[in-house]
Structure formats: structure tokens, C-alpha cells
Amino acid sequence: MGKHLLLVGGGHAHMMTMENIDKFVDKGFKVTVIGPSIFHYYSGMGPGMLGGTYTPEDIRFATKYVVEKQGGIFVKDKVVKIDPEKKLVYTQEGQILSYDVLSFNAGSYVPMQTVKENRGNVYSVKPIEKLMEAAIKLKVIFAQKKLVVSIVGGGPSSAEIAGNVWQLAKKTNRYMPEIRIFAGKKFMARFPEEIRSRVITSLKKRSIQIIENGYVKQIKTHEICLESGESFSTDFIFMALGVKPSTIFEESGLPVGPDKGLLVNKYLQSVKFPDIFGGGDCIYFQDQPLDKVGVYAVRENPVLLHNLMARLENSELKIFDPGPEYLLIFNVGGGLGVLKKKQLVFGGKIAFMIKDYIDRKFMKKFQAIEKIL
């Protein structure tokens, strides 16, 4: 067996590489994919799955099946440390794997430091499996009684979760919950007013409260405490505080960006270790900080595919161009969306229909690989 390509994570930025594992194998390379689940769930459709628009099967890609059918090796595990000098990775289960070329699409996580007690009623919005658990639990409770659902976080993820919790309750058709967003000092502060106002109007029409009295200091089992001293009782909590890259890069001594993501150059290659690459939420692109949105991971796909093969074959690398301003659409539940593309901004059913079409087309493209193999 020739050189070893090791992929950490089966996310959006690795989709084309996983689609072409057979080409690496045909050239004599060994390919191993490490992931925490045998499936990869598309996070862009996660809120819709929570709201019941999609089933879990609609939004997932069969990572293990696709890897193994093409002659690759799938390892259900999680990388906890990298030794870039010895070219080794260490996993949670105690495995040690060597590599010649390594690529990370390890995603991101939601910080949970403010949660001080039992997390039984507290769910992070990532990984998507947590949203699946929450949806099952909420459907049962919505049929039994009225409750207070709180979303902690002031970004678009909070808006999407709140709107889709409302949608899930509406579909259950029994008890409608009281839904509150704890948005810090200003809800969706980094977005233009024309987007904020449309999202806020849509949520408030459905009696979803947006609390902007200050940041959350502490979360207890049935209570949210603000830095101001105010406290609010609650029955169910979603943590949507924004995502952070995996901590393994800094802990392993690799160069990282300000957000602690793997610092990569214009080739999506570690600035210090040329055999390490990465894409998606877990990297910090040196040339131009990128928003943590799926569109950049999708745009990184062909470049990562080319550059991983090129590094194995000692040939020329391609430069990644982040491309033009991306289409932004939020799924705010109830079959409604808010869309922005350059100067065009609008909300309503058509905005959601466009998002739904794009997302389903993306999933069908990669799910089709499973049927071909």
C-alpha cells in the first residue's frame, strides 16, 4: 500500500473527496476517514428537521457506506490530538494512526460553559443529532402540556431554532409553548437592519419573545440567570451561542487563527505543516476571515480534492478563491424565510421555497453517490 490519506470528518468540505475515494485507491493510496457517526448530517437543514419539514433521512449522507464501498476505511471515533512532527493522530478510543497527508473537516461546537447543572433539559444546536433528540422529546411534551422553551444566543441560529420550535408545536396541534430568545444586548447585531427587522417581525407575529436585557451568566436546570441579576424560569433550553472550531489544533501546537481554528494559507494548507489541510468551520483562512457558513465549505470542495491528490503525488497545488458574496437565507419556521443577495432583501414563503430547493438539490447530489455504489 502506498501513501496514506487521512480525512478527519465527513462534512461539506470533504464531500467531493469522499465521492472520489476510489480514484485515490486506484492510484495505490490508502484512504481512512475518521468520524463520530456513520452518517453526516447537513447542518443547513437541521432547524428544518427540528420543525418537522425534513426527516433525519432527508438531511444525512451515509459516510461509512460511501467510504467502504470505494475501498476506503471508516473509523467511528474522534481525533483528540495531533503530533504533526511524527505525523500521528490520537483518537478518543485510544487508537494511533499515522498519515502522509491529513485533512480536517472537523466542524465546530457550541460552548456550554454557562450550564452549571444537569444538562437533561439543555440541548446544543450542534451536533445535529442533539436537535434530533430534542425534536423527539418536544413532540411528546407538546402533546401533554404547555411549557417554556428558551433559546440562548443572539444570532441567526437562535431565530431558526425558535421559529422551528414554534412550527413543531403547531404540527403537534396541542399545547403551544412560550418561546423566548435570550439575545444578549442586541439580537442579530452583526446583520443589516433590513434583515434584522424582517426576522424580528416574523418571530414576533408568532409571539416569540426576544429578550435583549443583557448576557446570560448562568444556566440552571429550570432557570436562566442574566448578568443583570434577572432570572427567568424555563422548562427546555437550546444553546445557540455561536460555534467555535475544535480545540485540538491549539492543544496540539498547530498554528491557529484568532478563533483557534486551524490557520491555513491560500491552498487550504497549514501555514507550518504542508501535509495538513482543512476546510469548513474548523479552519481560519489566513488571506481573508470567512463567515462560518456552509457555502464556503462547499466552495472549498474541489480545491481540497485537487490539493490532497496533488500533495500525495508531489504536484502543483490550486489556490482557493472564496468567491463572490454568497446567497444568505434563514429558515425562520412556519414555511417562511428571510433572503439576502447583494442589495436584494425579502422575507416570506418564496424565500423559504428557494432555500428548500437549494438544500434538497445539494443533498440529492451527494445522496445519489450512495445509489451508484
Which 3 state secondary structure label does DSSP give 260?
Answer: coil
Q: Where are the domains of the chain?
A: 4-36+77-109+243-324, 122-242
Q: What backbone phi and psi angles, to 5 degrees, belong to 230?
A: -70, 150
What are the tens digits of pLDDT across the range 176-208?
A: 999 999 999 999 999 999 999 999 999 999 999
134 pairs with which residues across the strands?
Answer: none
CATH class of 4-36+77-109+243-324: alpha beta
Question: Global pTM?
Answer: 0.91
The pLDDT > 70 percentage for the chain reads 96
Q: What is the secondary structure of 142-209 as a DSSP string?
A: HTT---EEEEE-SSHHHHHHHHHHHHHHHHHTSPPPEEEEE-BTSTTTTS-HHHHHHHHHHHHHTT-E
Query: Pick from 235, 228, 253, 320: which is nearest to 13 by CA?
Result: 320
Using a 10 angstrom Cβ sphere, with 0-12 exposed, 13-18 middle and 19 or more buried, the burial of residue 290 is buried
**Residue 201, amino acid:** T
Q: Give the span between the Cα atoms of 102 and 43, in whole angstroms.
A: 24
What are the tens digits of pLDDT across the range 298-354?
A: 899 999 999 999 999 999 999 999 988 899 999 999 999 999 999 999 999 999 999
**Residue 182, amino acid:** F
What are the tens digits of pLDDT across the range 207-247?
A: 999 999 999 999 887 899 999 999 999 999 999 987 677 78
Residue 291: what pLDDT? 87
Per-residue buried b or exposed e for 263-286, using 16+ beta carbons within 10 Å of the residue's own CB: bbbebbbbbebebbbbbbbbbbbe
Q: How many residues does the chain have?
A: 373
Q: Give the span between the Cα atoms of 162 and 209, in whole angstroms.
A: 9
Q: What is the mean pLDDT of residues 86-113?
A: 87
Instruction: Provide CB contacts within 8 A for 112, sequence distance 6+.
Output: 119, 122, 124, 239
Tell me: pLDDT of 116 over 70. Answer: no
Considering the chain, what is the average pLDDT of its residues?
92
Q: Give the span between the Cα atoms of 226 and 64, in whole angstroms.
A: 43
C-alpha atoms less than 13 angstroms from C-alpha of 35 in its C-beta half-sphere: 26
Q: What is the mean pLDDT of residues 266-279?
A: 97
On whether the CB atoms of residues 203 and 159 are closer than 8 A, the answer is: yes
Q: Give the span between the Cα atoms of 283 and 187, in whole angstroms.
A: 26
On whether the CB atoms of residues 33 and 73 are closer than 8 A, the answer is: yes
Query: Do 4-36+77-109+243-324 and 122-242 fold alike per CATH?
Result: yes
Residue 108 banded pLDDT, cuts 50, 70, 90:
low
On whether the CB atoms of residues 119 and 24 are closer than 8 A, the answer is: no
On whether the CB atoms of residues 256 and 264 are closer than 8 A, the answer is: no
Say which CATH topology domain 122-242 has. FAD/NAD(P)-binding domain (3.50.50)
